[in-house]
Amino acid sequence: MTGHDPFDATPDVALGRLLREHLDAGDDAQFLARLRSAITAERSTSWDVLAGWARPGLVAAATIVIGLSLWLSAQRNADIPTLADAIQPTGAPTRILAGAQETQSDVVLVSWMEEQ
Amino acid sequence: MTDVTDAELARQAAGGDTEAFGQLAERYTPAARRLARLFLRDPDDADDAVQDGLLSAWRALDRFDLRRPFRPWLLRIVLNAARDLRRRRVVRRTEPVPETQASRIAGPDRETERTLLRTRLDAALATLPERQRLAVTMFDAEGYPHAEIAALLGVPEGTVRSDVFHARRALRKELAPFLEEVP
């Protein structure tokens, strides 16, 4: 002991052993078992949280997709030109336009006769 | 499995492998607990801090640079957890470090001697500034190089050498009879 140089750059084995023994908790296995449980619990909790977030998220996303599909579908139908829209610029008779969905020959004939 | 490097285990643990992290924890928990006890001087607080630190390390593994050594990174997190815990504790009675397993199975004479040693060692450590306590324990008890201790404590290497020198001198003076007995 007395032969130790305080500036010695190598560890003091005797002092080190005393310190280790003094500070050792002695139940590392139990501590590690508790730590592993805590990590496992935290991991499963994280997944639960993610799953908890995911469920309402999926419902919201599905609702948005369905709503958007319906809206787009409605928009598309509204944008499809009817026969009336298609022939209006040509100056076709109003009667024809009114009955564009069911173009009956007598209506066309009457209309032509009126113009004559 | 014991020759798997820290870096490899850390890489696996960062990928979510709890078993790999368990092995890393097994390697460094004894030293981490000793340092936390030295720092907080309360065994329960020390264990809380080490557990907090290890859990923080587990969460932060994806940010760990695998090219750097794992031990200083982990011990720095544990020491930070111990500092945080100490800040949270307002006033708490300082309890002596409990007896070790070895002392519990020793005979009456040996037990008396160990009790005396514990008392002297506690008193001697209590007289040291905190940084000296940590420096001498990390150097002499854990065998860490000066540079690593310096990085952990955030001081120059020369300061660590000086701290170890002063702490050794004080401890050797107080513990001379016990140190002479150590084979």
Number of A to B CB contacts under 8 A, please give it. Answer: 117
For chain A, give the percent of residues with pLDDT over 90. 21
Boundary residue ending a domain (B25, B59, B88): B88
Question: Considering the domain boundaries, does residue A57 fall inside one?
Answer: no
Alpha-carbon separation of residue B167 from B29, B46, B172 (angstroms): 24, 22, 8
A82 and A100 in contact (C-beta within 8 Å)? yes
CA angle, B142 as apex, A35 and B144 as ends, to 5°? 110
Into how many domains does chain B fold? Answer: 2
* Closest approach of A44 to chain B, Cα-based (Å): 12
| Domain-located, residue B97 | no
Cβ contact, residue pair A11, B140, below 8 Å: yes
Closest listed residue to residue A9, CA positions, set B149, B122, B79: B149
Exposure of B145 in the CB half-sphere (CA atoms within 13 A):
6
Hey, how many other C-beta atoms are within 10 angstroms of the C-beta on B141? Answer: 25
Residue A94: per-residue pLDDT:
54
Do residues B78 and B22 share a domain?
yes
Whether residues B51 and A34 touch (CB distance < 8 A) is answered with yes
Q: How far apart are CA B85 and CA B78, in angstroms?
A: 10
Q: Do residues B81 and B113 both lie within one domain? A: no
Q: Nearest CA of chain B to the CA of A48: how many Å?
A: 16
Do B72 and B133 reside in the same domain of the chain?
A: no
Within a domain: residue A26?
A: no
Residues of A in contact with B43 (CB under 8 A): 25
pLDDT in the model for residue B161: 95
DSSP secondary structure letters along chain B = -TTS-HHHHHHHHHTT-HHHHHHHHHHHHHHHHHHHHHHHS-HHHHHHHHHHHHHHHHHHGGGS-TTS-HHHHHHHHHHHHHHHHHHH-SS----PPPPPHHHHTS-HHHHHHHHHHHHHHHHHHHHS-HHHHHHHIIIIIS---HHHHHHHHTS-HHHHHHHHHHHHHHHHHHHHHHHHH--
Count of the separate structural domains present in chain A:
1
Domain that holds residue A116: 82-116
Which chain A residues have a beta carbon less than 8 Å from that of B122? 22
Regarding whether B15 and B52 lie in a shared domain, the answer is yes
Q: Do B140 and A15 touch (CB under 8 A)?
A: yes
Shared domain for B114 and B164, answered yes or no, is: yes
Same domain, B110 and B176: yes
Please check the confidence at residue A3 and state whether its pLDDT lies above 70: no
The answer to whether the pTM exceeds 0.90 is: no
More confident residue, A102 or B32: B32
- Of A1, A12, A34, nearest to B176 by CB-CB distance is A1
- Do B69 and B137 belong to one domain? no
Domain shared by B117 and B75, yes or no: no
Q: Residue B176: its pLDDT value, please?
A: 85
Whether A63 maps to a domain, the answer reads: no
Considering only alpha carbons, which residue of chain A is nearest residue B125? A19
Test mutation, B169, B179, B181, chain A, max A CBs within 10 A: B179
Task: Give the CATH number of the domain where residue B161 resides.
Answer: 1.10.10.10
A6–B165 C-beta distance less than 8 A: yes
Q: Which residues contact B94 (CB under 8 A, 6 or more apart)?
A: B41, B42
Let me know if residue A87 belongs to a domain.
Answer: yes
| B77 and B141 share one domain | no
Q: Does B158 reside within a domain?
A: yes
The helix (run of H) or strand (run of E) holding residue A115 is helix A105-115
Partners of residue A9 in chain B, C-beta under 8 Å = 146, 161
Task: Say if the Cβ atoms of B38 and A17 lie within 8 Å.
Answer: no
Please answer yes or no on whether B102 and A38 come within 8 Å at the CB atom: no
Domain edge (last residue) among B88, B121, B139: B88
Residue A70 falls within a domain, yes or no? no
Indicate if the pLDDT at residue A1 is higher than 50: no
ipTM: 0.80
Closest-CA distance of chain B to residue A57, Å: 25
- Supply the range of the domain harboring residue B151: 106-181
Among residues B25, B20, B47, B21, which one has the least CA distance to residue B36? B47
User: pLDDT (tens digit, 9 = 90+) per residue, A34-86?
Assistant: 999 998 888 776 655 556 566 667 778 788 888 888 888 888 776 666 666 65
Report residue A81 as tokens: 């030109």
Q: Is B93 within the bounds of a domain?
A: no
Low-confidence spans in chain B with pLDDT less than 50? 99, 101-105
CATH number (domain holding residue B61): 1.10.1740.10
Q: Does residue B143 form part of some domain? A: yes
Place of tokens 């643990």: B13
Asked if residue B80 and residue B11 are part of one domain, the reply reads yes
Among A11, A17, A24, beta carbon nearest to B139: A11
Asked whether the beta carbons of residue B117 and residue A38 sit closer than 8 angstroms, the reply is no
Q: Which of B62, B88, B114 is the last residue of a domain?
A: B88
**If you compute the radius of gyration of chain B from its CA atoms, what whole number of angstroms results?**
18
Q: Please give the Cα distance from B5 to B8 (Å, whole number).
A: 5
